[in-house]
Amino acid sequence: MYSLAFPDMFTTSRTKLYEDREATLSNLKLLLLSFKGNLLGDPYFGTNIHKIIYSNNTQILKDLIVDDIYVAISQFMPQLRVARKDIDIYGDGKNLYATINATNLLNYTTNMYEINLIQTEEG
């Protein structure tokens, strides 16, 4: 699988691409960090994670985030097989991370992906 190397995807002579695990990680970041309703033509693409994160902290907040991630991956990334129990959320005080253990159905490899859910820019 290939994916555009966002945000530095163009050089003077060609387009930069990610392959395999890097492509899947890039696609996961784009999916999970996109707001629902922002993609023209598919208003259901993305997640409501940012709305959930900044709501009042309750006992079920972690479960709501995990459910939103699980549903988004199930709907928009058919090349990944993930179980709800394989998604974990943790914070370090300033950031909120999701770790996702998933099987890539293109080559049947299992990988762990870690994504900063409140990341605002590439870095």
Identify the pLDDT of residue 70.
96
Q: Which of 47, 11, 14, 31 is nearest to 102 (CA)?
A: 31
Parent domain of 63: 21-116
Identify the pLDDT of residue 11.
77
4 within a domain of the structure (yes/no): no
Rounded distance between C-alpha atoms, residue 55 and residue 1, angstroms: 36
For 49-79, give the DSSP string: HHHHHTS---TTHHHHHHHHHHHHHHHH-TT
Rounded distance between C-alpha atoms, residue 86 and residue 100, angstroms: 6
9 within a domain of the structure (yes/no): no
- Among left, alpha and beta (phi > 0; psi -120 to 50; other), residue 83 is beta
6 within a domain of the structure (yes/no): no
Q: Considering its fold, how many domains does the chain have in total?
A: 1
Note the pTM of the prediction, 2 decimals: 0.84
Tokens 């058919």 found at: 78
Give the mean pLDDT per block of 10 residues along the chain (123 residues).
75 80 88 88 89 81 93 93 95 90 91 87 51
